[in-house]
């Protein structure tokens, strides 16, 4: 009888330890982000370059609650060799992640961007811009920029070249 009681206790302990509601929320958030990007990819007749996706969190709306910011790339639109980088902001409504807004921020022959963080209600990005003699594959001018939410839109605040 004692061994059955120990076995039941062990099983209950394992079940209690394996249930983590935070993991369930993270899975739901990832599914929401995946579905959003998949729908956009289909509309553009392209595919997401999944390995380039970056996700960060931070307060964009000054309400004390973190938003989720995603930088993602869709490539091959309509069979081309084009790629476009997008920035999307997701908010939490009734406990669920919901897309708020997205815009294109870079891509082939425009600029490359790398999402670094969300600080002081701004999305911070490192950029690689094209110099006058750069090929479309290889922007060479380092810079930074930031985006803020204003009037329900993402607005670029400034671009700065980094000289070294």
- Mean pLDDT estimate for the chain: 86
The β-bridge relationship of strands 83-93 and 111-119 is unpaired
Q: Using the predicted structure, report yes or no on whether residue 130 has a pLDDT greater than 70.
A: yes
The pLDDT value recorded for residue 13 is 47
Full residue range of the structural domain in which residue 120 is found: 2-161
d(CA 157, CA 147): 6
pLDDT band at 75 (very low <50, low <70, confident <90, very high): very high
User: pLDDT tens across 20-68, in order?
Assistant: 444 455 789 999 999 999 999 999 999 999 999 999 999 988 888 999 9
pLDDT band at 18 (very low <50, low <70, confident <90, very high): very low
d(CA 13, CA 1): 18
Own/partner pairs for 141-145, CB < 8 Å, 24+ apart?
145/113
Classify each residue of 40-51 as buried b or exposed e, where b means 16 or more C-beta atoms within 10 Å of its C-beta. Answer: bbeebebbbeee
**How many other C-beta atoms can be found within 10 angstroms of the C-beta atom of residue 123?**
26
Q: What is the mean pLDDT of residues 112-127?
A: 95
Q: Which residue has the higher pLDDT, 7 or 131?
A: 131
The pLDDT value recorded for residue 62 is 85
pLDDT band at 6 (very low <50, low <70, confident <90, very high): low
Contact 159, 127 (CB under 8 A): yes
Q: What is the mean pLDDT of residues 73-91?
A: 95
Q: What is the mean pLDDT of residues 72-84?
A: 95
The β-bridge relationship of strands 141-150 and 153-161 is antiparallel
Dihedrals phi, psi of 97, to nearest 5 degrees: -70, 135
Residue that is written with structure tokens 């983590």 in the block? 20
Q: How many domains does the chain have?
A: 1
């Amino acid at each position: 009888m004692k061994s059955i009681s120990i076995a039941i206790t062990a099983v209950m302990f394992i079940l209690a330890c394996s249930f983590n509601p935070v993991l369930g929320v993270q899975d739901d958030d990832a599914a929401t982000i995946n579905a959003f990007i998949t729908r956009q990819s289909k509309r553009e007749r392209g595919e997401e370059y999944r390995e380039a996706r970056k996700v960060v969190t931070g307060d964009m709306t000054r309400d004390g609650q973190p938003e989720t910011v995603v930088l993602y790339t869709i490539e091959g639109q309509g069979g081309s060799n084009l790629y476009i980088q997008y920035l999307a902001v997701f908010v939490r409504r009734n406990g669920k992640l919901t897309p708020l807004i997205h815009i294109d921020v870079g891509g082939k022959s425009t600029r490359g961007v790398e999402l670094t963080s969300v600080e002081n209600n701004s999305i911070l990005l490192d950029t690689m811009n094209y110099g006058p003699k750069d090929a479309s594959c290889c922007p060479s001018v380092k810079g930074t920029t930031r985006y803020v939410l204003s009037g329900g839109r993402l607005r670029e605040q400034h671009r700065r070249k980094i000289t070294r």
